[in-house]
Chains A and B, each alone.
Chain A
Amino acid sequence: MSAALKDMIRNPTVAELELVARYAALKADPRRERLFEAFAQTGLPHRRHEEWRWSDFKAAVTALDTPATPPAADPLATEGVATLKFTPQGYTAPASLPPGLRLLAKEEVQAMSGAEDAPLGALAAALSGAKNSPATLLAEVTGEAPVRLHMVFSGPGAINAARVVFLLRPGARLEVSESHLGGAALSTALVEYTLQERAKLSRIVYQRGGKTEAQAITALIHQDAGAETKQTVLAFGAKVARIETRLVHQETGSHATLNAAYLAGDGYHIDFTSHVRHGARACTTRQVTKGAVLDGGRGVFQGKFHVPRNAGQQTDASMQHNALLLEEGAEVFAKPELEILADDVQCAHGNTSGALDQNQLFYLRQRGIPLEKARALLTEAFIAEALEQAGPHEDALRAEASQWLAI
């Protein structure tokens, strides 16, 4: 490796050197170079980066070996729904796609907006295009009929880096589910959604990784006038997992619902980070995040609404994060941030974390429900609100959650 390459990241770890080597082995491309530089500015993000202070990837990713645990099972797979698969060995798509969906596998890397703000997203973009996968996978959705699509990101392997760029044409509707099942030492996926006028996106995300893996899922969403996104995430974490959504309302009257539930067991870490920019008049955002954490588990919530002075008038936005600390030793870190510079806005936020209500527990036990079962029932009810907009996937997500709670 040349000295210039080695110097791209300051004081690189073994894992970071491996990432540099992987980058160097790919076809040279000026956009790829820019993206990798955006990543290299931070390297694997760590606790001294303000936005990553609770989620230290540098410390977590010690070696890029194939982990011992296989990828998790996929609860979102649905018969008859086209499935795209992204693995360390390459990308596969079905021979026939639903009408209204066109895939374009590009040899060139496409530029990414805000790469500096999302280093692991930039890494995914810079490393995609290894053998058997396109440098950029473009997906165009047209027509009025809803297009259903499922995407699976899973190992086994050392690194699983993937990028998909969706373009929803005016009035188009996409119902997409993403299963991020781990199985690689480092999985990083970048999914971009551009919603043109009145386009509608329903996005369901299921994340489950192993205790020795690091996982990053970065979504960039841009919405034009009257566009609407409904997102529901269920996450179980990994050694460190970051689920980041960066959404921009860029034209009037666009709507977003960003819901998420996380369940963190012993040894699991889940970080929800979202950044919503109300860059146009009269846009709405509804965000509900619910979490439950056991002893040795860790939940992180960082939510930010940014409402600029002129553009953001008549913003209507609410952010709610509620965490249950199910056992002593459970950890939750939350940083809700409202940066409101406009004056004619409605913004609300709520943030709580605490134990289960003793009165409720006793009431259930007095009726004969054993303590463990009572806890599970109350926790399931607690997170239910975050899953209730998952449409046809609500039952599958709830079943996964209750199975976890029954352990």
Chain B
Amino acid sequence: MLKIQNLSATVGEGEAAKTIINGLSLEVPAGEVHAIMGPNGAGKSTLSYVLTGRDGYAVTGGAATLDGQDILAMEPEARATAGLFLSFQYPVEIPGVPVMTFVRTAMNAQRKARGEPEISAPDYLKKSREVAKMLNLDADMLKRPVNVGFSGGEKKRLEIYQMLMLEPRFMVLDETDSGLDIDALRTVAEGVNALRAPERGMLVITHYQRLLDHIKPDKVHVLAKGRIIKTGGPELALRLEKEGYDGVLAEAV
């Protein structure tokens, strides 16, 4: 489903350009959930931005495809329409734009681009209520401007709210667990698991095993210095939790 081959990317321009992703390869078949772990500054968020097409990053080599489609050549909105969703490590505040307006605009923009009819206001509200209930989200929060004044945990829950509303085909979750309290972690994980399906894929970036207790990954990758240095099953995460990165980093050399 998602196939990344020997990908390299830099951040910054001209003389200041710095290689962050350095020959990274990774494949997530449809129906699977893969976790990415790795030290701070390894390039995990950078990978998520390169995949989703944020400005300021230049791909200097390799390829990335979603169901065979070259996503790196597409505009960010086209990638989103193709089904790619990023749950941001640091969700962005949008003053003056209520959550409802934002998510409905996004939903209808995607539908329009795919040649589907718009969602009606009652249908949207019905779906929104269901999703909010599942995530224990206060209805008032959805009337407020996107992320403005939201607590860290509320922002993360709002990311998952958007994900459940938009029903993407491939999801990248960048440290969705950070900032969540124990109960919120469980409800968010339930939300994420609700989207697991044979035709969907997921890449879960995290530092901690506890998220993976709830969202069971098929594979765990260790990302360091811009590439995948080790891949294993769920037991790899448990080993990292116990030993830290030193062991796997040493093995990789």
Binding site for B on A (CB under 8 A): 358-360, 362-371, 373-374, 377-378, 380-382, 384-385
Q: Which residues of B contact A366 (CB under 8 A)?
A: 52, 54, 76-77, 79-80, 85-86, 88
Q: Which residues of B contact A374 (CB under 8 A)?
A: 77
Cβ A364 vs Cβ B94 within 8 A: yes
Interface-located stretch among B14-22, B104-112, B115-123, B244-252: B104-112
**B1-31 contacts to A (CB < 8 Å):** none
Cβ A369 vs Cβ B96 within 8 A: no
Cβ A368 vs Cβ B80 within 8 A: yes
Cβ A371 vs Cβ B77 within 8 A: yes
Q: Which residues of A contact B113 (CB under 8 A)?
A: 368, 370
A362 and chain B: residue at smallest CB distance: B54
In the assembled complex, how far is the CB of residue A108 from the closest CB belonging to chain B, in whole angstroms? Answer: 49
B162 on interface, CB distance cutoff 8 Å = yes
A359 and chain B: residue at smallest CB distance: B92
In the assembled complex, how far is the CB of residue B115 from the closest CB belonging to chain A, in whole angstroms? Answer: 14
Q: What are 27 A-to-B residue pairs whose CB atoms are below 8 Å?
A: A359-B92, A360-B93, A360-B94, A362-B55, A362-B76, A363-B88, A364-B106, A365-B75, A365-B77, A366-B54, A366-B76, A366-B77, A366-B80, A366-B85, A367-B80, A367-B166, A368-B77, A368-B110, A369-B105, A370-B77, A371-B77, A373-B109, A377-B101, A380-B96, A381-B94, A381-B96, A381-B97
Q: Max chain B CB contacts within 10 Å: which of A366, A368, A371, A374?
A: A368
Cβ A369 vs Cβ B109 within 8 A: yes
The proximity string for B residues 34-60 relative to A, scoring 1 for CB distances below 8 Å and 0 otherwise, is: 000000000000000000111100000
Q: Which residues of B contact A384 (CB under 8 A)?
A: 96
B150 on interface, CB distance cutoff 8 Å = no
Cβ A363 vs Cβ B80 within 8 A: no
Q: Which residues of B contact A358 (CB under 8 A)?
A: 55
Q: A358-B55, A365-B77 are in contact. List 14 more A-B contacts (CB 8 A).
A: A363-B88, A364-B106, A365-B53, A366-B54, A366-B80, A366-B85, A367-B102, A367-B106, A367-B162, A367-B166, A370-B113, A377-B101, A377-B105, A384-B96
Q: Which residues of A contact B106 (CB under 8 A)?
A: 364, 367-369
In the assembled complex, how far is the CB of residue B68 from the closest CB belonging to chain A, in whole angstroms? Answer: 20
Candidates B77, B86, B95, B107; contact of A381 at CB < 8 Å: B95
CA–CA, A364 to B106, complex, Å?
8
Q: Which residues of A contact B96 (CB under 8 A)?
A: 380-382, 384-385
In the assembled complex, how far is the CB of residue A322 from the closest CB belonging to chain B, in whole angstroms? Answer: 11
CA–CA, A359 to B92, complex, Å?
7
Cβ B95 vs Cβ A373 within 8 A: no
B206 on interface, CB distance cutoff 8 Å = no
B209 on interface, CB distance cutoff 8 Å = no
Question: Which 3 pairs, one residue from A and one from B, show the smallest C-beta to C-beta distance?
Answer: A381-B96, A368-B80, A367-B106
CA–CA, A374 to B101, complex, Å?
12
Q: Max chain B CB contacts within 10 Å: which of A358, A370, A385?
A: A370
B128 on interface, CB distance cutoff 8 Å = no
Q: Which residues of B contact A363 (CB under 8 A)?
A: 88, 91-92, 94
CA–CA, A367 to B99, complex, Å?
12
In the assembled complex, how far is the CB of residue A378 from the closest CB belonging to chain B, in whole angstroms? Answer: 7
Q: Which residues of A contact B109 (CB under 8 A)?
A: 368-370, 373
CA–CA, A360 to B93, complex, Å?
7
Q: Which residues of B contact A359 (CB under 8 A)?
A: 92
CA–CA, A363 to B145, complex, Å?
14
Q: Which residues of A contact B176 (CB under 8 A)?
A: none
Q: Which residues of B contact A378 (CB under 8 A)?
A: 94, 97
Q: Which residues of A contact B79 (CB under 8 A)?
A: 366
Cβ B76 vs Cβ A377 within 8 A: no
Candidates A362, A368, A373; contact of B81 at CB < 8 Å: A368
A379 and chain B: residue at smallest CB distance: B96
In the assembled complex, how far is the CB of residue B102 from the closest CB belonging to chain A, in whole angstroms? Answer: 7
CA–CA, A355 to B94, complex, Å?
15
Cβ A364 vs Cβ B102 within 8 A: yes
CA–CA, A360 to B85, complex, Å?
16
Q: Which residues of B contact A380 (CB under 8 A)?
A: 96
In the assembled complex, how far is the CB of residue B130 from the closest CB belonging to chain A, in whole angstroms? Answer: 19
In the assembled complex, how far is the CB of residue A212 from the closest CB belonging to chain B, in whole angstroms? Answer: 34
Q: Which residues of A contact B88 (CB under 8 A)?
A: 363, 366
